[in-house]
Amino acid sequence: MKSKLNVLVLGSGGREHAICWKIKESSYLKKLFSIPGNGGISEVANVYEIKPTLENIKRFVEEKEIDIVIPGPEKFLVDGVSDYLNVPTFGPSKNASLLEGSKVFAKNFMKKYDIPTANFEIFDDPLKAKEYIKNKNNLVIKADGLCAGKGVFVCEEEKKMIEAIDKIMIEKIFGSSGDKVVIEEKLIGEEASILVLLNRENYTFLIPSQDHKQVYDGDKGPNTGGMGAYAPTKLIDDTIMKKIEDKIVKRLINGLKIEEINYCGVLYLGLMIVEKEPFVLEFNIRFGDPETQAILPLLEDDLLEIILKIMEGEKLKLKWKDGYSVCVVLASKGYPGEYEKGKEIKFSSRHVANSEWKDIIVFHAGTKKKNGKFYTNGGRVLNICGRENSIKKARETVYSFIEENVYFEGMHYRRDIGLKEERRE
């Protein structure tokens, strides 16, 4: 291992800002770069707003003598960035990325290797799909391919199922991602996100967290990319954790070995806990967003060192700060539908916009910096993260910070991030 490295982080969201913020403090870092980055990332890394095609990334890596690449979003990995670049890239191969890139692949894999998941059927013909759902209640309709977290429709009644099938398979609102659908039983329980750093047989867990997928309080409204998260969560006790390890992670590793798929990177398990039993809702092949923004402020260790050690095949014991971390997403008017852009973000002081301030860290997602000011540039705009000794205090700190310090026209956010955990406490 070289002693100091040039690092390139790919992506432009809050997750990538959190990764850059954490890597910035690494004793292994020479220079930090990001493509395409955002307003906040430009405060901690050298941001290049070039079009992030594989060819452009490869050229950039050679020009800037990049030693390691860390892709944030799944798209780069599904497109095969890890196979394409000639430098170490922390993320699975194109082949292994099908675990997220195709729900049909992931569900068949889980069935084959006895990984607990909701019962399902697969259809490539909308008429057959509609025939199947006739007179049924409580099913979930999922487009096969990538849809930025919006390709899943949880339906109580048949009418909604038909609408979902029409949107995905006939209107093709997600393009070829909707050539096939998975239709599965609706599980009733509580969700959790488990991130695992995985290199073949070696795995290291990050602390468990919980996302809030729906746009409105009380888990109402359509699904989004994630409206907020907190970590850790007592929902995952030691017994459940052991089941996750034995029934999910070990079986998955066994399956990957048999299928001759080499996996190195982050594996994200989207779980539904049903009466203390974990079921996999989805695999993601990368860090979660916004889970990462909640998790990394609690990590004591050097993230770059961790990534380098994982890539060398080590199993690690990570050190975590005590307490809770809460991350609230501030979104643009209209999100997760069509949303507005270009609104000036008003911070109470210039300093507030720049990450750390008292107990708060501000991670930028869809922002753009112009002439020293920040403007909205995406659906999810800012992630306000706070760490405190209790979940109650962490929630209070974050929400009072938002009320007093940040505003943009049309801004909306959930007021109940972490509330389930507060009630558990």
Q: Which positions lie near ligand AMP, rule CB under 6 A?
A: 118, 140, 142, 152, 154, 184, 186-187, 191, 213, 223, 270, 272, 281-282
**211: contact with ligand GLY by CB under 6 A:** yes
- DSSP string across 216-279: EGGGEEEE-S-SEEEE--TTS-HHHHHHIIIIIIHHHHHHHHHTT---EEEEEEEEEEETTEEE
Distance, CA of 309 to CA of 57 (rounded, Å): 24
Which listed option, ligand GLY, ligand AMP, none, makes contact with residue 291 (CB within 5 to 8 Å by class)?
A: ligand GLY
Nearer to ligand AMP, 140 or 385 (CB): 140
Question: Of 224 and 377, which has the nearer Cβ to ligand AMP?
Answer: 224
**Residue 226 binds which one of ligand GLY, ligand AMP, none, with CB within 5 to 8 A depending on kind?**
ligand GLY
Euclidean distance between CA atoms 302 and 316, whole angstroms: 12
Segment near ligand GLY (CB under 6 A); pick from 6-14, 273-281, 282-290, 368-376:
282-290
Minimal distance in Å, beta carbon 388 to ligand GLY?
A: 22
**Alpha-carbon distances of 168 from 281, 330, 346, rounded to whole Å:** 19, 28, 38
Nearer to ligand AMP, 235 or 360 (CB): 235
Looking at residue 119, its amino acid is N
C-alpha distances out from residue 244 to 29, 117, 207, 234, Å:
34, 12, 13, 14
Cβ proximity to ligand GLY: between 271 and 352 the closer is 271
Cα–Cα distance for residue pair 306/292, rounded to 1 Å: 15
Contact 360, 385 (CB under 8 A): yes
Contact call for residue 222 and ligand GLY (CB under 6 A):
no
Instruction: Walk across the sheet containing 380-388 and list its strands.
Output: 210-211, 228-231, 324-331, 380-388, 360-364, 355-357
Distance of CA 83 to the CA centre of its chain: 22
Residue number, 287 or 324, with CB nearest to ligand GLY:
287
Nearest distance from C-beta of residue 101 to ligand AMP, angstroms: 12
Task: CB nearer to ligand AMP: give 185 or 302.
Answer: 185
Told to check if 226 binds ligand GLY by CB under 6 A, we report yes
Candidate residues 36, 126, 149, 222; the one interacting with ligand GLY per rule CB under 6 A: 149
Q: 286 is written with which tokens?
A: 């990368």
Give least dist CB 275 to ligand AMP, A.
14
395 contact choice in ligand AMP, ligand GLY, none (CB below 5 to 8 Å, kind-dependent) = none
- Give the residue at shortest CB distance from ligand AMP: 282
Alpha carbons 207 and 193: distance in angstroms, whole number = 9
H or E segment at 306?
helix 303-311
Residue 248 site contact among ligand AMP, ligand GLY, none (CB < 5 to 8 Å, cut-off depends on kind): none
Nearer to ligand AMP, 91 or 270 (CB): 270
**Phi, psi angles (nearest 5°) of residue 399:** -70, -35
The residue (of 225 and 386) whose beta carbon lies closer to ligand AMP is 225
* Angle, vertex CA 96, rays to CA 60 and CA 83, nearest 5: 30
- x-or-dash string of contact with ligand GLY, 284-303, rule CB under 6 A: x---xx-x------------
Binding site for ligand GLY (CB under 6 A): 149, 211, 226, 284, 288-289, 291
